Amino acid sequence: MLFKLFLTIIREMLFISNFKRQAEPEMLMEEALNIQAYDIEGQEGVLLGVYYYQIAQMCAIIKPGDIVADLGCGPCNLLCILAKLNPDVKFIGVDLSTNMLQQAKKNILNNKIQNIELLCDDITNITKLKSQSIDVIISSMAMHHLPSVESLESLFIEINRLLKSEKRLYIYDFGKVNRVETINFFLSTVQNKYVKEDYKNSLIAAFKVKTFRTFSQKYLGKNIDIYYTRPAHIIVVIKSPSHAITKKQKEDIKNRILQFNSQQKKDYYMLKYFLSLNGLRSQV
């Protein structure tokens, strides 16, 4: 395994790219089996470690009284946890998939969450939200679902339009790696065949760090930082400066991490470690 990891890193660093970005086959997630599999992984499976890493980062951007929009909210498993940790914040989950929003509605009801509203709209052109009406934008693993670089640019224009003058945001997505072998290496630990397929499509559909940086600088200004894992740019985080999270948020997140299974713990700490190498600190 270690030798394979070493080889993958060397290839990723030294060789030029051997594949081109290809848009996701299912840009909007409408297929029932895929939604079900994704939802289960988000409630108790492989997504939990990644979610909790992000939730700790998101809490450090959000303040009581804020209106927060989650772009491409999916089944809202991440958003339900975040909403419980931030009861004085109003959250708006935006997604264009009606089936995904049905699942989100169920999850919100099951969790007895009062501070999430759902909106069916296109995140590259959110007709139902007014300019400068949002305090914070968050987005997790959604941007690679867009069909083209042009649509990614439209999304950044939209984020700029929606946010108030103090641009507060946290965006997390996959970045484009150079080699197919790198993708295969990362997929080797995923068991569920739907999640594996979804993960593979996501990594092939990911945008380059360079593209994210260009649009972030052009539309969101200098206060926004971009972080990514190295040597493989598999994860990209774009965010505004953090504040300290509350003691209660810290304890709640820590306690949940303690209950994780070994894979979830590994995912959480790997993400924390690799992003910290690029300067992104986590408070939990």
Q: How far is the CB of 66 from ligand SAM (least distance, A)?
A: 18
Task: For the chain, state the CA radius of gyration.
Answer: 18
Q: For 217, phi and psi rounded to 5 degrees?
A: -65, -40
Q: Is the CB of 96 or the CB of 163 nearer to ligand SAM? A: 96
Q: How far is the CB of 83 from ligand SAM (least distance, A)?
A: 13
Q: Is the CB of 12 or the CB of 96 nearer to ligand SAM? A: 96
Q: How far is the CB of 152 from ligand SAM (least distance, A)?
A: 10
Q: Is the CB of 138 or the CB of 257 nearer to ligand SAM? A: 138
Q: Percent helix, strand, coil in the chain (nearest 5)?
A: 50, 15, 35
Contact residues for 238 (Cβ-Cβ < 8 A; gap 6+): 169, 170, 171, 212, 216, 220, 224, 225, 226, 227
CB contact at 8 A, 164 and 131: no
Q: How far is the CB of 28 from ligand SAM (least distance, A)?
A: 4
In the complex, the residues that contact ligand SAM under the rule CB under 6 A are 27-29, 42, 72-74, 78, 95-97, 100, 122-124, 140-142, 145
Q: How far apart are CA 236 and CA 29, in angstroms?
A: 21
- Residue nearest ligand SAM (C-beta atom): 74
Q: Is the CB of 142 or the CB of 183 nearer to ligand SAM? A: 142
Q: Is the CB of 72 or the CB of 182 nearer to ligand SAM? A: 72
CB contact at 8 A, 152 and 159: no
